[in-house]
Amino acid sequence: MNNNGPYNAYISAVSHYFPEKVVTNSYFESYLDTTDAWIIERTGIKERRYLEDDQPVSYAACKAIERLFEKFNVKPEEIDLLIIPTVSPDMIYPSTVCIVQDKLGMKNCWGYDMLAACSGFIFALMTGVQFIQSGAHKKVLVVGAEKMSALANKNDRNTVVLFGDGASAVLLEPTTNKTTGIIDAILHIDGSGGKYLKQPAGGSLHPASIETVTKGMHYVHQDGRTVFKEAVKGMADVSLEIMKKNNLKSEDIAYLVPHQANLRIIQATADRMNLSRDKVMINIHKYGNTTSTTIPSCLSEYYEEGKLKGGDNLILASFGAGFTWGAVYLKWTI
């Protein structure tokens, strides 16, 4: 992706929030035909976090943002633009961004929700980056936030075990150093894959009705095997493509930061990139698939654990419903 603007964008602050309620695999064993061993072996997930019934996704987004403001000494009124990629907004409209902006008093910002499923974070990141590169804005907040527990059918073992809730935020700021921060991105969509992973009802095609509710059409529906195959190929191909385009060898990369949908997809991607396990950020065992939150939550946790240092080359990679997929190459700065 070309940058003809005067600035590069860099991540100047990062934060995450996961709810307190831990849901272990044994909870699903208690009422579904599944086992802790199957879930760990096939997905890598040991537990996930759930928001309470009265906590919408904006609650998690606010927690992550408040934590970022506090840790990095940023004031709400400094934010120019807020973008929230999410498939689980509080409601279709007003946007979750408007709800969060009001709750946190970010009175000088505008913003919007974005829909790109599991690629939501990197699509939103690259959208925010444009406003920084051009010089239009100085502080852009990108917040992946999800309440996947509200979209999963509790009686479907194929999907419910996979997902969790949470939110993570990154702040983008400009630098005149064009060799640091977000350097490059390759983003793709292929709508012919839409039928394999979707939430069919609740939009204008199938508005809520007794029939849609009875048939469970408001839940996540997935052909897991097809999505798995496409994800392995898509994530690995695009990660290799961005490495090649930027003359990066495996030894140049500090971390792959992959979307956390399935540990086997992550491992297959790392293998194709010839990266050892210690160079792959992983938190799926603790949180499951939190859709737009997975990548920034990895960044935040590894940063807080002191595992990131300025100048580290990172490859962010994702694949999700749509199909949507892509990779971002960035040089860590904080």
- 257 forms bridges with which residues in the sheet? 316
- What mask of x and - would describe binding to ligand COA in positions 285 to 304, judged by CB under 6 A? ----x---------------
Among 225, 251, 278, 305, binds ligand COA (CB under 6 A): 225
8 Å CB contact between 124 and 142: yes
Helix (H) or strand (E) holding 96: helix 96-104
Q: How far is the CB of 327 from ligand COA (least distance, A)?
A: 15
| Residue 285 appears among annotated catalytic residues | no
Q: Containing H/E element for 23? A: strand 21-24
* One-letter-per-residue 3-state SS of 108-174: CCEEEEECCHHHHHHHHHHHHHHHHHCCCCCCEEEEEEEEHHHCCCCCCHHHHCCECEEEEEEEEEE
Residue 231 lies near ligand COA (rule: CB under 6 A): yes
Tell me how far, at minimum, the Cβ of 38 lies from ligand COA, in Å. Answer: 4
Min dist CB 298 to ligand COA, Å, is 15
For ligand COA, what does the binding mask look like between residues 258 and 287, x meaning CB under 6 A?
---xx--x----------------------
27 binds ligand COA (CB under 6 A): no
Q: Is 320 in the site for ligand COA (CB under 6 A)?
A: yes
* SS3 assignment, position 22: strand
Structural tokens at position 334: 């904080």
Annotated catalytic residue within 3, 98, 259, 262? 259
d(CA 128, CA 82): 8
Q: Is 158 a catalytic residue?
A: no
Is residue 206 flagged as an active site residue?
Answer: no
**93 touches ligand COA (CB under 6 A):** no
Q: Looking up tokens 């898509």, which residue turns up?
A: 234
| Alpha helices, H only, 281-333 | 284-287, 294-304
Instruction: Rule CB under 6 A: say whether 227 interacts with ligand COA.
Output: yes
| Residues at the interface with ligand COA (CB under 6 A) | 34, 38-39, 42-43, 118, 157-158, 161, 197, 224-225, 227-228, 231, 261-262, 265, 289, 319-320
Residues with active-site annotation: 118, 259, 289
